[in-house]
Structure 1
Amino acid sequence: MNPQWLATFAALVELGNFTRTAERLNLTQAAVSQHIKRLEESLGPLFIRHPRRLELTPAGHALLDYQREMDAADHRLQQRLTGDDDQQGEVSMITPGSIGLALYPRLLELQRASPQLCIRHRFAPTREVVEAVLDNRVELGIVTLRPDDPRLTASVFAREALELVVPAEARVNDWADLERLGFIDHPDGQEMATRLLSRRFPGFPGVRSLPCRGFTNQIGLILEPVALGLGFTVLPQFAREAFAYPETIRVVAGEPTVVDTLWLLHRAEWPLSARARRVLEAIGAGLTDRA
């Protein structure tokens, strides 16, 4: 579609009058009529012309939706190309669930300080994070395994321990205590529990030998049944720190520890936008000292 014709159409819809549209766009009324005629030659009638008003036809409504989508796409393009302004525009980030729970409140604080920023954050596993950054669907990503791809810059963002979390009043001295409590599982639960418990408990018989007391795939809900005394779980440190009722749970300390490195990803071929650099300054405070 000719952009000038679309602009004329949008102004005519808004103003409802050919004369005012011509004045708005600094065109002659004949030029406005010609633009609408050209569009109608391709799309069919766009307006029903009443004596004092214009009414959109179904084709007119469809074209108006299209014009608004084009305006929105143009706006997004301009935001992405003007990366020097750290006070406005869109910043996109994708992370695993645990670190995402820790970072999202910081992202909201940043957006509150700069309301013209648009923060887009999504939770995803490592494979999806890598794909999203490579496909330029997001600017920043965090993963638990460093990818081997020359198109990506990977730097240490933080380190995060796996934790054995039990109800606040529970005491765990041996494997029998875990069997008595039972396991609250989650999508990464058995893998994480195996990595931690196999090191903590000699003669580890395997997570599958434990009674399963529940399962959830929502990272923010895993500790709810633990807080109610329904079982224990193993999950990353930042997820536990984000839990709203810390007095209802307890971390069982012990050696050896299991600590994962979190890697910050972005495309290597071009520099980060000013907005992205500002986001990293905001979310890194208090986390980088653990890296």
Structure 2
Amino acid sequence: MVRLVISSDGPAAVGGWRAAFRAVAPHLQTCSWYDPAYRPGPDDYALVWHPSSADLARMGGLRGIICTGAGVNQLLGDPAFPHHVPLVRMGGAQTAALMADYVLWAVLGLLRDARTWAIQQDARIWRENHVSRTSAETRVGVMGMGHLGAHVAGHLRHAGFMVSGWRRSTQDVPGIRVFAGREALPEFLANVDILVNLLPSTPQTRGMIDHALLARLPRGAGLVNVGRGDHVVQDDLLRALDDGMLGGAVLDVTTPEPLPPDHPLWRHERVTLTPHVASWASQEAQARYVVEVIDQMEHNERPALLYEPARGY
């Protein structure tokens, strides 16, 4: 019998997760990873976030592992992770919708220079900073045109922005001009007023957003990072902001998380920081997605967000 064992978020969260699964799939048997009586079985699926190495070592005989995050580096970086067990990343309609709304908010904030308003309000200063450019006159480029990236790009296009995308390999996205491969990256960047990063974290993309890449953007461009903190060379980002190469940045991810209290990104007047919350769906929405993944795997179907070692995500 199929069984879902819940590890994500620790012992205190198990009750809430089980209630969410009862609400969306009362037929699904669930149990706690932290129950001393639990013994892993070959028909079991595990719901995880960042389990210990000892816990990962016990998951080698499971049917599948489903992560509550879109990123899985915290699992793959642990030598105890059982690479022969299928690993699926978090997705679902609400996750995609939340990400699209967050990016739209961030892009509009950069367009209208909303950070300046926040600083002025803090200082009780009434000073008009006029921005006359509209969404229809603003070019937004999305790096990473996978499941989330394509949805975000469509949302921005629907809001009136001129949208393009960049990805490693060629793939058509309706209504969006997609640049593919390293050789197309300079042309893509040269035509972007606000760059949105939604790349996966791989050896090829870590540290990719450095001073050289930012220098290819039009002067004064904006950056929204909702991919991974390790994509951005943060010292290069600060340098680009300080010399006016970059006009502003919205960062939902950093390295490390959270940043140390004395890190200059906290207090930079051109930076808006959010605590890695761009696309955190409700427990019920995540539970519904997990049930769909289990059903697919039980019918020998491939989940869309199954981790592929050859791609690195």
Larger radius of gyration: 1
Relative contact order (C-alpha < 8 Å, sep 6+): which is higher?
Answer: 1
Identify the structure with the greater helix proportion.
1
TM-score, scaled relative to structure 1 = 0.30
TM-score, scaled relative to structure 2 = 0.29
Identify the structure with the greater strand proportion.
1
